Amino acid sequence: MTLAMGVPPREPVRAWGRVPEELSARIPVEQRGPGLDRDAVRLLVSRGTEVSHHAFVELPRLLRAGDLLVVNTSPTLAAAVDGRVGHARVVVHFSTRGDDGRWAVELREPDGKGTTRARTGGSAGTEARLPGGVRLVLEEPLSACGERLWWARVSGAEVLGMLREHGRPIRYSYTERDQPLSVYQTVFALPSADGAGSAEMPSAARPFTARLVAELVSRGVQFAPITLHAGVASAEVHEPPYPERFSVPEASARLINAVRAGDGRVVAVGTTAVRAVESATGADGVVRAREGWSDLVVTPERGVRVVDGLLTGLHEPEASHLLMLEAIAGRAAVDRSYEEALRGLYLWHEFGDVHLILPAEAPHAVDCSSNCW
């Protein structure tokens, strides 16, 4: 199966400008001081253009009984592995396994600091040698829009086994050091029957702990598991997401529909959860069990049919994910919340703080049947 990306939507200019480098979260919050757990991050909450500041541990009281959190159960793979193209060292990021057995990959260069940078060049027939006698050959670009990601044929070993033995989590230059794979697993991650997973962590769920999940359940908040195996993000170009494998099970579809029929709110945990649920929703607004490939790119023009709110990390001003946020909350609300995040020195990226987008509160009606002049 060959998957191709469409023409990227044009990014509007962001009024709030660039994110200072010092606002990148360089290590996980639990490593920043004694006694800290994953839920010790900050939580920015926006309801329309109204913004408030909280700790993530306050989430249970910010939601209400009957609300539903849609969570991604995809585990994170150790998707980066060292290799060589000729005499040159490369790092291969394994992204997505196609139906035909090929893998979508990105070849990057070591930057001498323990991370990588974009690699120029690359053409069909380029061969990379990987550990254990594995050979990878680039066959064709994943997208007609660029040559960052390639479909590659791998021989000599099974890829997932090689990654388990020789791989490490994908890491970008804003982080301080390598971390064990366990740091990149969320509390919702479940092993896949076929060993598949996400090339990069579905990071919006990272702050959840078992204790916090238990408190949410005790307060009447429900959970609907879905799966979307996230591919390699673009650290430099910020392309829209390309097709990714997803599954919305029957039980979760029924639960989402039931909540929508009542007075609860459907809040997606992460942009991956939005993509999966909206891909399983018909034009009639009904969610149905579905699995396969999603090529959906959620934009303000397309809008959302099911999701009322979103819990997500903070995104760079060039990130296509911001179009999804605008589809849910509107441009003015997104700009206002990001201005507040910058002013409040919130931390960005997968180890950073999080943003909860909820529907704007409707003004309370005034009963004028008596005592109104």
pLDDT score recorded for residue 13? 56
Q: How many CB atoms lie within 10 A of CB 192?
A: 18
Query: Do residues 323 and 9 lie in contact, with contact meaning Cβ atoms separated by under 8 Å?
Result: yes
- Mean pLDDT of all residues in 200-218: 97
- Mean pLDDT of all residues in 255-262: 97
Q: How many CB atoms lie within 10 A of CB 190?
A: 12
pLDDT over 90, % of the chain: 77
Q: pLDDT tens-digit profile of 298-328?
A: 999 999 999 999 999 998 887 888 999 999 9
Query: Residue 67: pLDDT above 70?
Result: yes
Q: Report how far apart the first and last C-alpha atoms of the chain are (Å, whole number).
A: 70
Give whole-number Cα distances, 182 to 71, 215, 324, in Å.
Answer: 18, 23, 29
Question: How far is the C-alpha of 323 from the C-alpha of 19, rounded, in Å?
Answer: 17
Query: Residue 227: pLDDT above 90?
Result: yes
Question: How far is the C-alpha of 357 from the C-alpha of 335, rounded, in Å?
Answer: 12
Q: pLDDT tens-digit profile of 15-55?
A: 667 889 999 999 999 999 999 999 999 999 999 999 999 99
What is the band of 370 on the pLDDT scale with cuts at 50, 70, 90? very low
pLDDT score recorded for residue 238? 67
pLDDT score recorded for residue 142? 85
pLDDT score recorded for residue 239? 73
Query: Do residues 223 and 105 lie in contact, with contact meaning Cβ atoms separated by under 8 Å?
Result: no
What is the band of 363 on the pLDDT scale with cuts at 50, 70, 90? low
Query: Residue 7: pLDDT above 50?
Result: no
- Better-predicted residue by pLDDT, 269 or 369: 269
Question: How far is the C-alpha of 299 from the C-alpha of 7, rounded, in Å?
Answer: 13
Query: Residue 87: pLDDT above 80?
Result: yes
Q: What is the DSSP string of 114-157?
A: SSEEE-----TT-EEEEGGGEEEEEEEEEETTEEEEEEEEEESS
Q: pLDDT tens-digit profile of 104-137?
A: 999 999 988 778 888 876 789 999 999 988 999 9
What is the band of 361 on the pLDDT scale with cuts at 50, 70, 90? confident
pTM, full prediction: 0.91
- Mean pLDDT of all residues in 229-249: 84
Query: Residue 230: pLDDT above 60?
Result: yes
Q: Please, what is the Cα angle at 335 between 334 and 336, to 5 degrees? A: 90
Query: Residue 256: pLDDT above 50?
Result: yes
Query: Residue 11: pLDDT above 60?
Result: no
- Mean pLDDT of all residues in 155-159: 89
What is the band of 240 on the pLDDT scale with cuts at 50, 70, 90? confident
Long-range contacts of 153-162 (CB under 8 A, 24+ apart): 153/101, 153/102, 154/102, 154/103, 156/130, 156/132, 157/132, 157/133, 159/94, 159/97, 159/103, 159/134, 160/77, 160/195, 160/196, 162/81, 162/130, 162/131, 162/132, 162/134
